[in-house]
Structure 1
Amino acid sequence: MFKARLCRSYAFLLAAILLISTVGLGQSASAKFHVVAIAEAGGIHKPFVDAAKIWLAQESKIDGFTVDYIENTDLIDDAFLSRYQLFIQLNYPPYAWKPAAVEAFRRYIELGRGGWIGFHHATLLGEFDGYSMWPWFSSFMGGIRFTNYIPGFASATVKVEEPTHPVMKGVPTQFLVNDEEWYTWDKSPRPNVRVLASVDEHTYSPDSATRMGDHPVIWSNEHMKARNVYIFMGHHAELFQNPSFTTIFHNAILWAAHR
């Protein structure tokens, strides 16, 4: 009798541990797919990240996926990434990653083990905070290096270049983005990526001399097996009040996760 009760106790404890572990990882059995988002823990982009979490919570209920959040790369390895069909880089920069995370993420993208969506700070490519540039990530983003930005912000019109791409489904051919930083890079990534949208620098308000000429802001690197899309916009929380932005984000999630 005692052994039977002990076995039942161990079985109950094991079941409880498994349940807690599953909930903690967001791996609901009923979910259609699983997403991990690496997000900046604080700083000037925190309001955007916080708004993204609220929006993703609503979106996940509609489209049947789970989202787990991490704030550094400590956990990232092949086994960790194997749990997820989509990796979202919510303004987390491409430097200061742990060596194991660098290699696991590279394999995840090159081998198509999952999809990727990156926002804004993900193209902060160069020497920052004592870290050298990540050459592979620069290549992934079209071979670019960060050069400048508009610190006082400017509103501008974004023009859709690939209206038939799934990420652009239902998006107007032109839409306004208010008060964005509009990064510039040392060159346009266009020769190495598929540009989905670009900003019309002539519509900057207020005007700015910080220009590129050809200035893509949404693109996908089709040389990689993973479905991927970079979306430059991502500084202000108010973007989640912009239906064009949220439509692009929604479409990108489903497309990158093969849904």
Structure 2
Amino acid sequence: MGHVGKWVIRKVIIGLVMLLALLPQTVGAGEKFKKRTVLIITGGHDFDRAAFFKMFKSFANVSFEERVHPLSENAYNAEWCKRFDAVVFYDMHQEISPEQKSAFRRMANRGMGLVFLHHSLASYQNWPDFEKIIGGKYLLEAESRGGVTAPASLYRHDVEVRVRVADRRHTVTRGLEEFTLQDEIYGGYLTQPGIHPLITTDHAESTPVIGWTNQYGKARIVYLQPGHDHHAFEHPSYRQLVRQAIEWVSR
């Protein structure tokens, strides 16, 4: 074989190697822009509706529908949820019927992606399974835990919060660097031992872990504590967190 033939073969091999190296990135990009249909549940707490939904409208790969508490008795059943890839909770609601509890657990056991934001950590104070699902609990009142009284959780508005990335390799935090938010912090809330921290803060009045993943049944679950008002909703890094959380839980 002549020098020209060998040169051509080498070029072909190099080209194939480069193409193979790019394939995982191409697949990842396709997954990133896969269209997701999301159900957003609100109610029980006022919020900046315009800024909140403007954030979701900025997500090119997400379409959404809102439902407001009180939900119908068939909430969370298979028929109700089959049109959605994920459910985002931005609610703070307490009343839930036995039928809704069972349907909620089945929804998670079937593998529905669940994203919980900010004050949703204070929902369903009298339903122990909810704490296991979301991965924590904001205590509206002091509560006895194993003979020890856990004090009520605290909050403070308009705080400069330094958000640190705890796991840079996770899909939810992919591409994020440390950033600062003006937001509402929570202190003294409880977290489950099995959660996987995503973001943290060193603010003295905040619980250190402010974002995590959790698993309940087959469901992928993300909780993000930040998200009080437009300061968070308009921040590029917070938007990226929420969008990538939706992408990850909906597989």
TM-score surpassing 0.5?
Answer: yes
Distance apart, 1:140 and its partner CA: 1.7
Matched, 1:37 2:40: yes
Alignment CA distance shift 1:38-1:159 (3 Å): same
Matches of 2:162 and 2:247 in 1, distance apart?
25
Residue equivalent to 1:122: 120
Please list, as runs of the form range in 1=range in 2, the aligned pairs for 1:144-163 lying within 5 A after superposition.
Answer: 144-146=137-139, 147-163=152-168
Q: Which residue number in structure 2 is paired with residue 16 of structure 1?
A: none
- What percentage of aligned pairs have identical amino acids? 22
In structure 2, the partner of 1:249 is 242
Shift of 1:223: 4.6
The alignment status of 1:53 with 2:53, answered yes or no, reads: yes
- Amino acid in the other structure paired with 2:47: K
CA deviations on 1:4-31 (whole Å, 9 max, x unpaired) are xxxxxxxxxxxxxxxxxxxxxxxxxxx9
Quote the Cα distance in structure 1 between the aligned partners of 2:249 and 2:124. 27
Change (3 A) 1:223 1:98: closer
Q: What is the rounded CA distance, in whole Å, between the counterparts of 1:222 and 1:78 in structure 2?
A: 19
Distance between the aligned counterparts of 1:152 and 1:122, measured in 2? 17
Q: What residue is the counterpart of 2:169 in the other structure?
A: 164
- Checking the alignment, whether the CA contact within 8 Å between 1:126 and 1:145 is kept in structure 2 is no
- TM-score by length of structure 1 reads 0.71
Return the alpha-carbon distance in structure 2 between the equivalents of residues 167 and 37 of structure 1. 19
AA paired with 2:65?
D
Q: Do residues 181 (structure 1) and 185 (structure 2) align?
A: yes
Counterpart-to-counterpart distance in 1, 2:124 and 2:219: 24
For structure 2, which runs of at least 5 residues remain unmatched after alignment? 1-33, 140-151
Task: Give SS of 1:164's match.
Answer: coil
User: Which structure shows the higher strand fraction?
Assistant: 2
Counterpart residue type for residue 241 of structure 1: E
How far apart are 1:211 and its partner, in Å? Answer: 4.8
Question: What SS is found at the alignment partner of 2:40?
Answer: strand
SS at match of 1:227: strand
* CA-CA distance at 1:126 after TM superposition: 6.8
Q: For the structure 1 residues 98 and 188, does the alpha-carbon distance in structure 2 shift closer, same or farther, using more than 3 Å as the test?
A: closer
Partner of 2:67: 70
Q: Secondary structure, in 3 states, of the residue corresponding to 1:192?
A: coil
Is the CA contact (8 Å cut-off) linking 1:94 and 1:134 kept in structure 2? no
Runs of 5+ consecutive residues of structure 1 not aligned to the other structure: 1-30, 128-132, 203-209
Report the Cα distance in structure 2 between the residues aligned to 1:101 and 1:139, rounded to whole angstroms.
16
Q: What is the rounded CA distance, in whole Å, between the counterparts of 1:115 and 1:241 in structure 2?
A: 24
C-alpha change, 1:218 and 1:211, in structure 2 (3 Å) is closer
Residue 179 to residue 254, structure 1, CA distance change in 2 (3 Å): closer
Residue pair 1:125, 1:138 contacting (<8 A) in 2 also: no
Q: Using a 3 Å threshold, how does the CA distance of structure 1 residues 241 and 58 change in structure 2: closer, same or farther? A: closer
User: Aligned letter for 1:162?
Assistant: D
CA distance in 2, matches of 1:125, 1:57: 25
Give SS of 1:55's match.
helix
Partner Cα separation in structure 2 for residue 237 and residue 163 of structure 1: 25
Q: Contact (CA 8 Å) 1:143, 1:192: kept in 2 or not?
A: no
Rounded Cα–Cα distance in structure 2 between residues aligned with 1:176 and 1:57:
23
